[in-house]
Amino acid sequence: MKQHTFIFITFIIGITTVFSSSFAQTPAAVHETPIVLQTASGSIEGTLTLPEKNTPIPVALIIAGSGPTDRNGNNPTMHNGSLRMLADSLAKYGIASVRYDKRGVGASAAALKAEKDIRFNDYVNDAIGWLQLLQKDKRFNKIVVIGHSEGSLIGMLAAKHNANAFVSIAGAGMPAADILKTQLATQPEPFKQMIYADIDTLQRGDTLRYVNPLLYSLFRPSVQPYLISWFQYNPAKAIAALKDMPVCIIQGTADIQISEADAKLLAQADPAAQLVMIPGMNHIFKNVNGDRNANIATYNNPSLPINAQLVKTITAFIHALP
């Protein structure tokens, strides 16, 4: 099922993503062990990364972005290892983490429902399930949700369930329906207005009576319930609901998928949040010097380290928590 839904989501951001494992090697001072979340529809498989430090310690729940991105931030055509590198870097600073394959991706493929039954809240509920699992683990004294890209919205909605803090990395500031409209704004006027009307219908919570064959891959009947469930959320409102929680909003200035304006929208919705703009960092946490082609090339280069300021910002934020 989710193959087609992933195609829709990655169409929005303009870069295709699919599943794979990371090439990066775990540093000697970091210990990894499998961890599993049991759900009614199947197992969600993850990795627990632990530092060489006595407990209790903070733990971060890392939520991947859109498309069939695996727990390491990879896909079959683009290997960059960004999320695994983040987990390893956190461990070097005494912070444990859990990252996982979303339902329908990688080792969690069996947890997938039929396309017509999938809802955005399924991903939110999975994240809440991980939080509940970590809350029972006496090795950890704080739980921080780190959401990347689409995982930022998932993380915002899940963090309300007893997380101690939330970190958004490259999170959208507008509803998905508005992002899609922005991406399609350059289409020919008659075609654009037809798409906009369909998006408005779905955003109101109604299914489409007719789907133009040219738009079937985006708005086929089986995926419409998922889109309706996703379009109802506004990231600005979701982060505003975390006003009593420490929040850090991080955005790279070289990101070609999410803009600095998105980060500012989130910060406006939660004025108490820490807003950090990282010069030269792109969507997958890598440093970029060059044009769009050079930027995209980093998505398939696992030898590039992640941005050092990103690591310092997150670790300082977590260690400063009360």
**Residue 70: inside a domain:** yes
**Residue 223: inside a domain:** no
**Residue 34: inside a domain:** yes
pLDDT of residue 223: 95
**Residue 10: inside a domain:** yes
Q: Which domain holds residue 25?
A: 2-175+233-319
- pLDDT tens for 176-200 read 999 999 989 999 999 999 999 999 9
**Residue 207: inside a domain:** no
Q: What is the pTM of this model?
A: 0.90
Query: Does residue 33 register a pLDDT over 50?
Result: yes
**Residue 90: inside a domain:** yes
Q: What is the mean pLDDT of residues 15-39?
A: 62
Q: What is the mean pLDDT of residues 200-226?
A: 96
Report whether 145 contacts 64 (CB < 8 A).
no
Q: How far is CA 127 from the centre of its chain?
A: 11
Query: Does residue 20 register a pLDDT over 80?
Result: no
Distance set, CA 237 to CA 80, 120, 250 (Å):
32, 16, 18
Q: What is the mean pLDDT of residues 129-156?
A: 98
**Residue 218: inside a domain:** no
**Residue 110: CB atoms within 10 Å:** 12
**Residue 160: CB atoms within 10 Å:** 17
pLDDT of residue 27: 53
| CATH code, domain carrying 144 | 3.40.50.1820
- pLDDT tens for 303-316 read 999 999 999 999 99
Which region among 9-23, 126-140, 181-195 has the lowest average model confidence (pLDDT)? 9-23
Side-chain-side CA neighbours of 152 within 13 Å: the count stands at 28
Q: What is the tally of structural domains in the chain?
A: 1
**CB within 8 A of 4, min separation 6: which ones?**
115, 217, 220, 223
**Residue 180: inside a domain:** no
Query: Does residue 221 register a pLDDT over 70?
Result: yes
Q: What is the mean pLDDT of residues 138-153?
A: 98
pLDDT of residue 12: 42
pLDDT of residue 161: 97
